[in-house]
Amino acid sequence: MQVVHTKVELRAALKEAHTTGKTVGLVPTMGYLHAGHASLIRRARRENDVVVVSVFVNPTQFGPNEDLSAYPRDAEKDSALMRAEGVDLAFFPPVEELYPPGFTTYVQVEGPMTATLCGRTRPGHFRGVATIVSKLFHLALPDRAYFGQKDAQQLAVIEQMTRDLDLGIQIVGCPIVREADGLAMSSRNVYLTETQRAQAPGIARALFEAREMIRDGRRDAAAVVEHVKKTIAAIDSAAIDYVSMVDPRTLGDLETLSGEVLIAVAVKLGRTRLIDNIRVEV
């Protein structure tokens, strides 16, 4: 595995692939890699000649009171996982490489898609996401890029940006990877105390119960949302940010359920904010 740290190095390392027609798969990450990231890398490995993984904790998607400085980092562990999964090229840029002095240009997906769900309480977050992903796309020029469905809103925003800007990149959404007890894998799970970690799977159980309600014929979105809220509220130390039932493509709220439905939640356990979701075909 080749490791690079600068834009010049990244482009030089990919020049041969681009000039000879090899396909490039990109897996953008913020590091502290786990089995969920490994599943993205494996998918990219199956579908491309060259696999690139970027590791960058993007400061522009963190708010002033969020966990940028505390966000977990372990470059050695990340490199070991990437090597084990057959990554060809690892990109570890410092902040000043992607945001040099005088940087003033940002990418913003406008409208309800970025104003709902996490956008309600994280202003500017998706501007930061769209900007850094756009930069990585222009640097790596991938044929395909891989993102986890756990970050469902992020995935929808990136798909919209890619269509709107005619980037010609296939965006591949990959299924959520869960712990044995159902908790969605996340780098932030490391923040949980032992007690909170034991309580956290209750979030996924609430979503699974909602899925069964829908499969059993419930079509009133408000009733299903209320059940999820009550179930999560029963968890000690849980503070609900949102529980929403939306169209997974537009992220518009649903009243009567039909077609594909996304049930999305954001919950704080103590100081740790966890997101999760589940998709149901009605």
Q: What angle do CA 125, 131, 132 make, to 5 degrees?
A: 95
Q: Answer yes or no: are the C-beta atoms of 152 and 262 closer than 8 Å.
A: yes
The beta strands (E) that lie in 219-271 are given as 238-246, 260-269
Q: Phi/psi of residue 206, each to 5°? A: -60, -40
| DSSP-H helix ranges across the chain | 7-19, 35-47, 75-84, 95-98, 112-115, 118-121, 125-140, 152-164, 194-199, 201-215, 221-233
Query: Which of 37, 125, 138, 227 is the catalytic position?
Result: 37
Q: Say whether 173 sits in a helix, a strand or coil.
A: strand
Question: Could you give the CA distance from residue 93 to residue 257 in angstroms, rounded to a whole number?
Answer: 44
CA 275 – CA 281 distance, rounded (Å): 21
Tell me the CA distances in angstroms from 280 to 28, 181, 207, 208, 261, one per residue in order.
Answer: 27, 20, 10, 10, 5
Alpha-carbon torsion angle 261, 34, 209, 147, nearest 10: 0
Separation between Cα atoms, residue 207 and residue 228, nearest integer Å = 7
Query: What's the rounded Cα separation, in Å, for the pair 228 and 245?
Result: 11
- Cα distances from 148 to residues 36, 85, 178, 199, in angstroms, run 8, 17, 12, 23
37 is catalytic: yes
Measure the CA–CA gap between 202 and 69, rounded to whole angstroms.
28
| Active-site residue set | 37
